[in-house]
Chains A and B, each alone.
Chain A
Amino acid sequence: MDHLKVLFVDDEEELVSAVVERLDLRGIDAVGVTSGDEALHRLRGGSFDVVVIDVKMPGIGGIEVLRTINRRHPEVKVILMTGHGSAEDSEIGRRLGAVAYLQKPVDLEDLLMTIKQASNRGEGDHADE
């Protein structure tokens, strides 16, 4: 847990900054970005254990990023997050190997637990909201 590296991706900058700061406070090495492009760029630069990403974003969305991660960084665990939550998105996410699918607003403690489970076990077996 000490050196758990998390990339938090959401187009809402305010949200990103708050979550990153809170995760930091809980000993997680969190980096926040506000777009899919940026996320992919960051992934190339450094190794992350877990990526938490919003499904719906301007430009490259969460599902697209998930596909790229699967191809380029299969070791990285992905947690999807959405404010909309359609059944198809959830299903696609699962099929593409997302470890969890969380609905906004996400409780930080839940997020933390999901991140830990994802990184420790290497598989996301708990249900989404």
Chain B
Amino acid sequence: MFSTRGLLTRTFKAEPGAADGRVSERAYRTLRRSVVVATATVALVPLIITTFMNYVQYRDALQAEAVRPMERLTLNTKRSLELFLSERRSALTFLVHDRPFADLCDERTLMRMISNLNRSLEVGAFVDLGLIDDHGYQLCYSGPYELSGRNYMDQDWFHEVARLGTYTSDVFLGFRNSPHFAIAIKHDRDDGAFYVLRATIDADMLSEQILTVGLDRSDDVFLINRDGVLQSPSRRYGEILQTFPIPVPNYSPSVEDVEVLDTRGEKVFMSSAYISSSPFILIHVKPAREAMGRWFKLRSELIGFLVISAALILGVVLWGSGLLIRKLRDADERRAALYHHMEYSNKLASIGRLAAGVAHEINNPLAIINEKAGLLQDLVTVGPDIENRERLIASVDSILRSVQRCKKVTHRLLGFARHMDVKTETIDLESLLKEVLGFLEKEAEYRNVTVRFRVDPNLQTIRSDRGQLQQVFLNILNNAFAAVSEGGEIGIEITGEGADRVAVTVGDNGTGIPKEHLERIFEPFFTTKEGIGTGLGLSITYGIVKKLGGEIRVDSTVGEGTRFTVVLPVSREG
């Protein structure tokens, strides 16, 4: 059995091209990455594009919706302010042209006129009236201030009215040191000179004209002049006559809307309208975050939708690709394991055939030796006494004993070869295990390994496949022999497990298997004997035991040893 045992042992440990049947980890990772990237791209790109288009459309629509009421309010206020100013201009124009100078230049007349004007115009708002000659002197004045005799020659408004005939000033402090604006109407006299009827109106009156219906706290509607000076108080930009910090919008006859960054760094929507025949520009400012409240909510929802959808898609893609790759890997491994198993079985079968051939070839001459030696023994024993008879008999005995040893070896080999084919037969497990141990007895002898047997006396025979079981136990015993050191011990125990099962436990006092390896030892290609083992032995063993309707258990403690238990049904089904 010498050389043949070596051959068998090597077959269990040899590496029949373990790597070539399998796909590397890296290839699976690359494949998974490609699957994830491709699937995610196909799923995510349309989602992102659609969401982006929705984003832009919704933003534009909601912005237009937010700006429209501002625009409407600005336009209405512009009309109301223009009406306010034009009414007052018309009234003053009527007066200055209707009354002769002498009538006008009377303080009481002026006072009565103020009173009448304020009564006839719903919101009169006139503070005072004055009559100024073409040298800028205030000839007559009626009002709460002491302004008679004042000279306005140096003031811009006087020159403007002289030039244009009618003039509405922007808000200023003037002599009275209170914000107001003036409307002045020029009347040309027949003698070529002229005089000007000038009325002042409190700046507050302008503010009162600004429509406040439909405004909320964040709306800021106010007037500026063309130099960017506030003409009415602003909630955001300060009091009257302070400077408006945003550049003055360019002239346009209609309402203009812009989105600007104000001094606070805040994005605001600004509607503006030039008030005709006046220096005023109506400004309506609303912070974008207030105006676009709905948009911001919708934007959060859109972004949330995108993020959740993308996360879901990615999750499903990752899960799906993981599953796919796992299945693929399982299939690959199963195929590789099957391939190796077949290769292994073929090898075993070849060895079996070889062993049988060798055994047969040896058995015939062995039979001749046996019979010839037997005949010699017969002749010497029954024939006449000859010289050295005893020595001759002893020699023949020795030959016959040797023949018996050879016979044992060849019969064992034949027994191994005979059971290559799958076949259910009645098996005495004890003799089967002893037969398998026969292959390892020399190793046990050389390494001084003790093998102990303990067999349940009530043990019954089982119906199973002898050849497959030989493989199983040869593999487990091989592992046990590999695990024990010189002088080690291997215990084999065969006991009944219930009425219909038999357990064979092979225990050793070897190195033991670490816990992290223990969970994986039945996995195909798992090996701790890198370069020596294929990692298939125990997986094949596991497969065979399962096929035979049994199960295999292992428990091990590092430093104490390992116990493999093979539980087999008494009668094999299927």
Contact = CB atoms under 8 A, between A and B. Distances in A.
B370 A103 contact: no
A96 interface: no
B374 A14 contact: no
Contact of B364 (A19, A21, A25, A83): A83
A129 to B, nearest CB: 7
A83 B367 contact: yes
A85 interface: yes
Among A14, A25, A56, A85, find the residue whose CB has the most chain B CB atoms closer than 10 A: A85
B367 A15 contact: yes
Interface in B342-372: 356, 359-361, 363-364, 366-372
A21 B372 CA distance: 10
Interface in B398-414: 403, 407, 411, 414
B328 to A, nearest CB: 41
B193 interface: no
B225 to A, nearest CB: 118
Given A85-B418, A87-B421, A129-B411, A15 B371 contact: yes
A72 interface: no
A78 to B, nearest CB: 18
Contacts of B360: 56, 83-84
Contact of B368 (A14, A86, A129): A14
Contacts of B366: 104-105
Among A56, A83, A108, find the residue whose CB has the most chain B CB atoms closer than 10 A: A83
B371 A18 contact: yes
A37 to B, nearest CB: 20
Among A18, A105, A129, find the residue whose CB has the most chain B CB atoms closer than 10 A: A105
Interface residues of B, number: 25
A74 to B, nearest CB: 29
A103 B411 contact: yes
Contacts of B418: 85-87
A18 B369 CA distance: 10
Nearest to B376: A18
Contacts of A104: 363-364, 366-367
A106 interface: yes
17 contacts: A15-B371, A18-B368, A21-B375, A22-B374, A83-B361, A83-B367, A84-B356, A84-B359, A85-B418, A86-B356, A86-B418, A87-B423, A104-B366, A105-B363, A105-B369, A105-B403, A106-B367
Interface of A: 10, 12, 14-15, 18-19, 21-22, 25, 56, 83-87, 103-108, 129
Interface of B: 356, 359-361, 363-364, 366-372, 374-375, 378, 382, 403, 407, 411, 414, 418-419, 421, 423
Given A84-B359, A86-B418, 18 more contacts: A12-B367, A12-B368, A14-B371, A15-B368, A22-B374, A22-B375, A25-B382, A83-B360, A84-B356, A84-B363, A85-B414, A85-B418, A86-B356, A87-B418, A87-B423, A107-B370, A108-B371, A129-B411
